[in-house]
Structure 1
Amino acid sequence: MKKRVRYVRFYGLFGQSLAHSISPQIHRKIYEVAETEAAYKIFEIEPNRLKSALDAMTVLDIRGANVTIPYKETVIPLLDTVSPLAERLHSVNTIKQVNGHLAGFNTDYDGIALTFNQRNWRVKDQQVVLLGSGGASHAAAHYFKDQGARSICVVSRSAANQEGEWDYLTYDQLRTQSGDILVNCTPIGMYPNVDASPVDKDVIQSFQVIFDMTYNPVETLFLKWAKELEKESTNGLDMLVGQAMRSVEIWEDHTFTPNQVSQLLAYFRENWTGAL
């Protein structure tokens, strides 16, 4: 009798410095819940080898890849197609490869949506302030706009030189502002610089909902202060898991049930300590 060969689909993460990534652990659990035979590996790629890495996806039949800093924008011209959302955000963090065709998507937006939907946090008519002007901030701004936020302001050290559809403030100007939702889209406070916060307690006091996209440590100084001030708050773990789940849905043409989503979020909330 001929032995049945088990076929495992192969995925990965493209980036430059990935030593602290927990994406393989997250995807391993997601594949288990989705009952999918798949493997997920990390690929550290130098900027001059990005095109070669994409070519290798076709040669080696790598079905998909997540993309992180610094390639979310530079990868776009190298793809065959880009989803309307990724084009609008000018950011790709997920690539699907089918018969040599490379299609780009953005699932950061989905991770932000999952974070707010899980907590039933109201966005419509709210005043939102985003700390940082990078890709994550841009995705968040579009999410809040789509959900009907009354105003969206981006805080940046280079606010005077920024142009676009959002209002911009410097960190000094932020001290005199107030609002409803405050989101940290910067790496400030992330491991190993755990004693830093992008703003002080007086700024946090002026908002009701505090969201830190950082997931390591579990509780940043920014979130510790929010808790002390009795604000509604959360870290970026649900966002990280949410964008990963959406990537798998794109790659596998799979839809996670509400029960599967709850199972995965509960697992990572319980088991992720932030230690690397």
Structure 2
Amino acid sequence: MKRISGLIGKDISYSLSPAMHNKALEKLGIDAVYLLFDLERENLSDFLRVMIDVGALGFNVTIPYKEAVMELVDRIDPDSQGVGALNTIVLRDDKWFGYNTDIYGIKRSFENINYDLSGKVVGIFGTGGAAKAAIYLFLKEGARVWVMGRNSDKMKSLSRLYDIETIPWSEDLPYFDVLVNATPLGKNSTGMPPFPKNCNIEDKVFFDMVYVPVYTPFLMEAKKLGASVISGIDMLLYQGVKAFELIFKNKPPIKDMRDELFKLVASS
């Protein structure tokens, strides 16, 4: 009988994670399956209890449960504590261990373009779990961070947690070296966050956590004007690589995972 793993979230039928992980499991000959588990918040605790009984391996966790699931696991690694959100849980000795592999996904995305974040100013759109992972990583790498969002309570919370500047949503952007979209704007080419006006962006980096399409309107506009761009598909891939290592205790075939993601995005 195949061991169970998968993705926990709400309204997640769009996710590309099963294809990416199942391709890696197939290539490595691991007798496990990666499934989608679309759950209501009140069912999370019971689900995790049942998964202990059936001997599941572990799960990725996505919107809207990256923060809520922290209350339900037995141990949390220091990075997840620092972020205040996690996206991977692993079952060991009938106990759940929590991790945040989004941090690794973001870090690898910037390493791929040989970009040193130390001393840079990073602007982030969004106040959710992915934004928190980005803030935590950028501060750890020695950057200065400002966040722009619409939810004043979440912005106050971020300001207290990380001691960063928070700015109400506006078309007027402060100075930045790196601009990050951590909102759903741009998904399926619908909308985009505020874009800088009347400034040279050739030496800037634009990073979009949205991965469908690979190049969102936000990235296309930046690319057209000469900026460096990072697609959210890189973050999706590398957070998945780290999660795979934690859940399945094997190094996955990264090229096969990447090829599967690009094939699916191209056909969507």
2:174 is the alignment partner of 1:182: no
| Among 221, 224, 244, the residue aligned to 1:225 | 221
- Match among 61, 68, 72 for residue 62 of structure 2: 68
What is the aligned partner in structure 2 of residue 199 from structure 1?
Answer: 194
The separation in 2 between residues aligned to 1:66 and 1:255, in whole angstroms, is 17
Compared CA separation, residues 255 and 176, structure 1 to 2 (3 A): closer
Moved more, 27-36 or 138-147: 27-36
- Rg (Cα) greater in structure: 1
Q: Give the secondary-structure state (helix, strand or coil) at the position aligned to 2:147.
A: strand
1:146 CA drift (Å): 1.1
1:26 corresponds to 2:24: no
The offset of 1:274, in angstroms, is: 4.7
Report the Cα distance in structure 2 between the residues aligned to 1:47 and 1:8, rounded to whole angstroms. 26
> Does the C-alpha gap of structure 1 residues 16 and 111 become closer, same or farther in structure 2, counting only changes over 3 Å?
same
Aligned CA distance change for structure 1 residues 13 and 249 (closer, same or farther; 3 Å): same
Aligned residue for 1:36, secondary structure, equals: coil
Q: Cα distance, 1:36 vs. partner? A: 2.6
Taking the TM superposition and a 5 Å limit, the aligned residue runs for 1:240-255 are 240-255=236-251
Distance in 1, matches of 2:164 and 2:77, equals 23
Contact 1:58 1:99 in 2 (8 A): no
Alpha-carbon offset, residue 200 of structure 1: 2.9
Unaligned runs of 5+ in 2: none
Whether contact under 8 Å (2:21, 2:257) holds in the other structure is no
Alignment check: 8 A CA contact 2:23 2:257 kept: no
What is the correspondence of 1:42-191 to structure 2 with a 5 Å cutoff?
42-149=36-143, 151-158=144-151, 162=156, 163-164=159-160, 165-172=163-170, 175-191=172-188
Across the aligned residues of Structure 1 and Structure 2, the Cα RMSD in angstroms comes to: 2.1
Distance 2:186 2:214 in 1: 11
Higher relative contact order (CA 8 A, sep 6+): 2
- Cα distance in 2, alignment partners of residues 97 and 176 from structure 1: 43
- State the SS of the aligned residue for 1:75: helix
Specify the code of the residue in structure 2 equivalent to 1:137: A
**1:183 is matched by which residue type in structure 2?**
V
Cα distance in 2, alignment partners of residues 120 and 178 from structure 1: 22
- What is aligned with 1:3? none
- Give the TM-score normalised by structure 1: 0.87
